[in-house]
Structure 1
Amino acid sequence: MTAMGQLLAAARACLLAVTLLAAPAVALAQEPLASWNDTPARQRIIDFVKATTTEGGAGFVAPDDRIAVFDNDGTLWTEQPFYIQLGFMLDRVKTLAPEHPEWKTKEPFASILNGDVKGIARGGEMGMVELGMATHAGMTTDEFEKIVTDWFATAKHPKSGRPYTEMTFLPMRELLDYLRANGFTTYIVSGGGVEFMRPVTEKLYGIPPQQVVGSTIATQYAIVDDVPVMKRLPKIDFIDDGPGKPTGINKFIGRKPIFVAGNSDGDYEMLRWVTAKTPGFALIVHHTDGAREYAYDRQSAFGKLDKALDEAERRNWLVVDMTNDWKKVFAFDQ
């Protein structure tokens, strides 16, 4: 072999060695669900995705039918010590209070202005509805979007001190990415207000506004200063919670999902519907980690998980234990 040949052979050997050394790092970088611990929960998800995407396999599902739906509060972002949208409502009441002196003695507004969280809860469902109408109606959809966007730009979580936009669960964001990488279309199906979520879901989760299903208040076409607008009215249009979730999926998505993720009894009907026949897969996020997030289930005022937890094993729903199954909860965790 000539000197030049020896040089080329040596170069090829070096290149091969570098490639082999780098291979594990590349594989690690591409590993799915990297913030999940290597537990049976993670493996069940991977096995399901593999079964539904392997052409010729018994569980194969065509891409058009690979629909995955996710609850938002408590499933994709935190819902304690109260729903993020409730935090928005509380701040709106304080902002609007100077225009409403009657709120000083009227519930649930008086409790909000006095910092009485228990008093807010005593208002019950009707109190929450009245609160929503007072803080979400009487403006155009464009005006409301700007109010929401501006609020998210500055509002912070009371426990972590982090912006609410950082309070999303990293393992669930990885799950969304993993499903989309395997031909799934992902939707949010939440009891939260659809126009409260839509301004931020694409940035936070990669889910565009048209793939967000949520509760709505009535809107009406109007002309204001010769400009067509949609006015938000003080009237409930649709509640996307409990039995409303399967109804909303059928109405707005038009295809039955094969994958569903939730965290509370508000997702129970959606879990049942999606898994009524093969290949439906259901995942429940169980909040067990009081150190990194919150520990709660059966007695919680927000995100109560009782009936669905009791039936999970019998119905073959995957219960994800936040403490044991997740390496990280939030991206900012050490």
Structure 2
Amino acid sequence: MIRLIGSAVLLFVAAAASAHADDPLPSWEEVKPKHAIMKFVEQVTAEGTSDFVPVSERIAVFDNDGTLWAEQPAYFQLLFAIDRVKALSNSHPDWKTEEPFASLLKGDLKAALAGGDRAVLDIIMATHAGMTTDEFAQIVKDWIGSARHPTSGKRYTEMVYQPMQELLAYLRSNGFKTFIVSGGGIEFMRPWVEAVYGVPPEQVVGSSIVTTYEVRDGTPVLLRQPKLNFLDDKDGKPIAINQHIGRRPIAAFGNSDGDLAMLQWTCLQRRLSFCLFVHHTDNEREWSYDRQSHIGRLDKGLDVAAENGWMTVDMKADWRRIFPN
């Protein structure tokens, strides 16, 4: 199922590209961000110039939540975890009286998350650990292939941003290697991102939990343990890029203050580089939020982007289309 869904999304991108062969970014309005992207690509691919960047060094990094797909009313991985709590509840009768699970089972997300980061961590560990990596990957594939967004009714893979899909394809057609660098779980993303974004699993960087190795009945397995290993958010993103990618990016795309360090690491260097924030401004086609939001807060990032001349995409004004359909 996930392969069919991903193929449908990528076929839509291919069809759009064919219909607009002379315009690699047809879902973008003819405004400054689009023109800046294309100018940057032209500069770094122009052989014999001082701005030319060899193909091996054309690294572009993308946040996922709020940058490549939507993130409201909660991060989609958290919504996955909530569905897992409900599915596992019969095996955990104690959850009926234990928070944050009791509130989740009553459908009260606000009360469940009143415990802050501790509550979120408890939910994640209870639903993401205690199985092998292969078992978890299958659980994710089954969910992403069938689950529906609570307000739009769409599959989560239908809530990817069409303009960003075009951007990924455009960069790759010009020799860029595209990486996802997300605060989301690395093992949550890897089972489906290649089918949906065209990004292979080895080019996905994310948060992780402790994983151990053992041999079960003669078969080697990796077991997911209920303990955080690495949080790929804020200052952790440049660290993860250095550890996993080994090259400094020349282009970075995010949507929140959690991505700011990644954009600073990319663009506060002498080499020609490009940074862009996606600003959620369209309350009719998507959601509108920035400085005061608990999810995807974009506050300091807006100021730093303005100070450094980075691009900010106004979703309402700059994107002709937000979702593929």
TM bucket normalised to smaller: over 0.9
Q: Does 1:185 align with 2:177?
A: yes
Q: Measured at CA, do residues 114 and 34 of structure 1 come closer, stay the same or move farther in structure 2, by a change above 3 Å?
A: same
Matches within 5 A, 1:77-226: 77-226=69-218
Q: CA deviation at 1:223?
A: 1.5
Q: 1:251 aligns with which of 236, 239, 243?
A: 243
Q: CA deviation at 1:280?
A: 2.1
Q: CA deviation at 1:50?
A: 0.3
Q: CA deviation at 1:79?
A: 0.3
Q: Does 1:316 align with 2:309?
A: yes
User: Whole-Å Cα distance in 2 between the matches of residues 29 and 50 of structure 1?
Assistant: 17
Q: Does 1:290 align with 2:294?
A: no
Q: Could you give the per-residue CA deviations for residues 108-134 of structure 1, whole angstroms, max 9, x where no partner exists? A: 111101111211221211111111110
- Unpaired segments of 5 or more residues in structure 1? 1-24
Larger Rg: 1
Q: Measured at CA, do residues 194 and 26 of structure 1 come closer, stay the same or move farther in structure 2, by a change above 3 Å?
A: closer
User: Whole-Å Cα distance in 2 between the matches of residues 26 and 245 of structure 1?
Assistant: 35
User: Whole-Å Cα distance in 1 between the matches of residues 286 and 305 of structure 2?
Assistant: 22
Q: Could you give the per-residue CA deviations for residues 57-115 of structure 1, whole angstroms, max 9, x where no partner exists? A: 22111111100000000000000011110110000000111111111121111110111
Matches within 5 A, 1:220-235: 220-235=212-227
User: Whole-Å Cα distance in 1 between the matches of residues 169 and 20 of structure 2?
Assistant: 16
Q: Which amino acid aligns with 1:296?
A: Y
User: Whole-Å Cα distance in 2 between the matches of residues 28 and 168 of structure 1?
Assistant: 20
* Paired residues, number: 308
Q: Measured at CA, do residues 27 and 88 of structure 1 come closer, stay the same or move farther in structure 2, by a change above 3 Å?
A: closer
User: Whole-Å Cα distance in 2 between the matches of residues 121 and 70 of structure 1?
Assistant: 27
Higher relative contact order (CA closer than 8 Å, sequence separation 6+): 2
User: Whole-Å Cα distance in 1 between the matches of residues 304 and 276 of structure 2?
Assistant: 12
Q: Could you give the per-residue CA deviations for residues 213-251 of structure 1, whole angstroms, max 9, x where no partner exists? A: 000001111112221100101111110001000000000
Q: Could you give the per-residue CA deviations for residues 19-75 of structure 1, whole angstroms, max 9, x where no partner exists? A: xxxxxx989424111110111110000000000000112211111110000000000
SS of match in other structure, 1:174:
helix
Q: Which amino acid aligns with 1:279?
A: L
SS of match in other structure, 2:306:
coil
Q: Could you give the per-residue CA deviations for residues 138-179 of structure 1, whole angstroms, max 9, x where no partner exists? A: 000000000000011110111211111111000001000000
Q: Which amino acid aligns with 1:145?
A: A
Q: Which amino acid aligns with 1:238?
A: F
Q: 1:325 aligns with which of 299, 318, 324?
A: 318
SS of match in other structure, 1:154:
coil
Give me the TM-score of the superposition, normalised by structure 2. 0.93
SS of match in other structure, 1:80:
coil
User: Whole-Å Cα distance in 2 between the matches of residues 263 and 179 of structure 1?
Assistant: 19
Q: Which amino acid aligns with 2:189?
A: M
User: Whole-Å Cα distance in 2 between the matches of residues 49 and 93 of structure 1?
Assistant: 45
- Unpaired segments of 5 or more residues in structure 2? 1-16
